[in-house]
């Protein structure tokens, strides 16, 4: 397949796992990513997703039908995990674009984000920083 | 269940699941998902099902390219698989190949449970309950902070781990009798519902349920 045009090869690589899925759901519980950001370099780091302390039955029922923010969170988790395995500029830009959209109304001039992984080691849960972006100007990111 | 009824029920289920997904993206990636919602409505109506399915297939391929993979993991993969099988079933030159397309979907559905259980069985952390504890302790999935406390309930996580493993491994046995299959699909739907409630995997719930008619038809075709 090395002589195939690159976009076609890319599409084939993306399509094949949907036609022949591996179905190895939750095979192991590995390090789990968290994305944090800060608006302007002197601000404290904040998680991009803040969990509610609890969800009532009505909220849970509603989220069965409509849960765009949570599904975006799951998407960001998957691309953060993917970045650790196969770094792609696409995924860095994807996180940046979503942060830009989130921060745009706040008036911040720059932002930065980082990816941490939370993992169990020797029985204890710890975390380490895997990736830290450079400081980016909000207006220049598409 | 006849082949025609099963095919139509899968079409209805998939179209509803795709409308739900499109609805979640309006205002975010509208250009990508509004056409999906409209085509899914056409598929739901039952008119021009073939062209609607192929249109949805192309849109989902575009989405795979746009996100460089499935946006919502296994749920979007199964949606693409459903669309592929429906598209082939409509375009197949003979009824035999149409049936083969739906049978492939049914077999993949069985494998989705069996393989998932098999790989858990091979992992000592799943057998001890530690893996499920860690899902709640530190994974990014629990939808609310108070659910983290489930990690401390070791008897519950151990029992639930083995219940999931046993159910998933035994799932192919449901093909032996329509009553077994009915029971298994009710349990499976409950399993997906609990995943949607605790882990926020709502799209898995809808798309897996939409493929069940293929399995009901398949069971009758090979055993009944």
According to the model, what pLDDT value does residue A104 have? 72
Q: Which of A2-16, A85-99, B117-131, B143-157 is predicted least confidently?
A: A2-16
Q: What ipTM score was computed for the predicted complex, to two decimals?
A: 0.90
Residue B150 CA neighbour count, 13 Å, CB half:
27
Q: What is the DSSP string of A16-54?
A: HHHHS----TTSS---EEEEEEEESTTSPPEESS---S-
What is the number of other CB atoms lying within 10 angstroms of the CB of residue A69? Answer: 12
Going by C-alpha positions, the residue among B212, B115, B216 that lies closest to residue B175 is B216
φ/ψ of residue A67, rounded to 5: -145, 55
According to the model, what pLDDT value does residue A1 have? 57
Cross-chain CB nearest to B200 (options A14, A21, A74): A74
Q: What is the mean pLDDT of chain B?
A: 95
According to the model, what pLDDT value does residue B148 have? 94
Rounded-to-5 percentages of helix, strand, coil across chain B: 85, 0, 15
According to the model, what pLDDT value does residue A142 have? 44
Band (pLDDT 50/70/90 cuts) for residue A139 is low
Give the model confidence (pLDDT) of A19-45 as tens digits.
999 998 888 888 999 999 998 878 889
B122: helix, coil or strand? coil
Cross-chain CB nearest to A23 (options B112, B139, B203): B112
- Give the residue, A6 or B117, on which the prediction is more confident: B117
Shortest Cα–Cα distance, B126 to chain A (Å): 8
Q: Do A18 and B112 touch (CB under 8 A)?
A: no
Band (pLDDT 50/70/90 cuts) for residue B144 is very high
Q: Do B68 and A91 touch (CB under 8 A)?
A: yes
CA distance B220 to B223: 5
**Residues above pLDDT 90, as percent of chain A:** 49
pLDDT over 80 (residue B70): yes
- Judged by a CB distance cut-off of 8 A, whether residue B192 touches chain A is no
According to the model, what pLDDT value does residue A26 have? 84
CA distance B40 to B55: 9
Band (pLDDT 50/70/90 cuts) for residue B119 is very high
Shortest Cα–Cα distance, B182 to chain A (Å): 22
For chain B, give every domain's residue range: 3-222
> Which own/partner pairs from B174-181 qualify as long-range (CB within 8 Å, at least 24 positions apart)?
B174/B219, B175/B110, B175/B218, B175/B219, B175/B222, B175/B223, B176/B223, B177/B223, B178/B216, B178/B219, B178/B220, B178/B224, B181/B215, B181/B216, B181/B219
According to the model, what pLDDT value does residue B55 have? 96
pLDDT over 60 (residue B143): yes
- Can you tell me the mean pLDDT for A54-63? 92
Give the model confidence (pLDDT) of B91-104 as tens digits.
999 999 999 999 99
- Can you tell me the mean pLDDT for B7-12? 97
pLDDT over 50 (residue A141): no
For chain A, give every domain's residue range: 31-140
According to the model, what pLDDT value does residue A8 have? 83
Looking at beta carbons, which residues of chain B come within 8 Å of A29?
A: 125, 131, 134-135, 139
What is the number of other CB atoms lying within 10 angstroms of the CB of residue A102? Answer: 13
Any idea how long chain B is?
224
- Can you tell me the mean pLDDT for B150-168? 96
């Amino acid at each position: 397949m090395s002589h195939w045009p690159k976009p076609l090869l890319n599409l084939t690589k993306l399509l094949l796992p949907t036609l022949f899925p591996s179905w190895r759901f939750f095979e192991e519980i590995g390090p789990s990513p968290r994305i944090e950001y800060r608006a302007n370099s002197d601000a404290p780091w904040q998680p991009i997703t803040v969990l509610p302390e609890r969800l009532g039955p009505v909220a849970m029922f509603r989220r069965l039908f409509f849960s765009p923010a949570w599904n975006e969170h799951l998407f960001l988790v998957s691309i953060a995990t993917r970045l650790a395995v196969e770094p792609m500029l696409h995924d860095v830009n994807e996180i940046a674009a979503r942060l830009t959209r989130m921060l745009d109304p706040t008036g911040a001039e720059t932002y930065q984000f980082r990816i941490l992984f939370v993992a169990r080691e020797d029985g204890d849960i710890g975390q380490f920083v895997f990736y830290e972006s450079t400081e980016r100007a909000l207006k220049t990111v598409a | 269940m006849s082949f025609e009824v099963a095919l139509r029920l899968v079409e209805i289920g998939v179209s509803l699941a795709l409308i739900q997904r499109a609805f979640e993206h309006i205002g975010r990636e509208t250009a990508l998902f509004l056409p999906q919602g409209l085509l899914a409505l056409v598929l739901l109506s039952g008119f021009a099902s073939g062209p609607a399915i192929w249109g949805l297939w192309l849109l989902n391929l575009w989405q795979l390219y746009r996100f460089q993979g499935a946006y919502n993991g296994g749920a979007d993969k199964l949606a693409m698989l459903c669309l592929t099988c429906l598209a082939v079933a409509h375009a197949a030159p003979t009824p035999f190949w149409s049936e083969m397309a739906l049978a492939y979907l049914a077999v993949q559905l069985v494998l989705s449970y069996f393989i998932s259980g098999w790989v858990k069985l091979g992992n000592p952390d799943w057998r001890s309950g530690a893996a499920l504890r860690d899902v709640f302790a530190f994974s990014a999935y629990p939808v609310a902070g108070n659910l983290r406390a489930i990690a401390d309930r070791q008897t519950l996580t151990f029992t639930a781990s083995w219940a999931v493993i046993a159910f998933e491994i035994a799932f192919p046995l449901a093909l032996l009798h329509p009553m077994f299959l009915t029971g298994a699909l009710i349990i499976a739907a409950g399993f997906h519902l609990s995943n949607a409630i605790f882990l926020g995997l709502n799209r898995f719930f809808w798309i897996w349920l939409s493929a069940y008619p293929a399995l009901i038809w398949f069971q009758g075709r090979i055993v009944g």
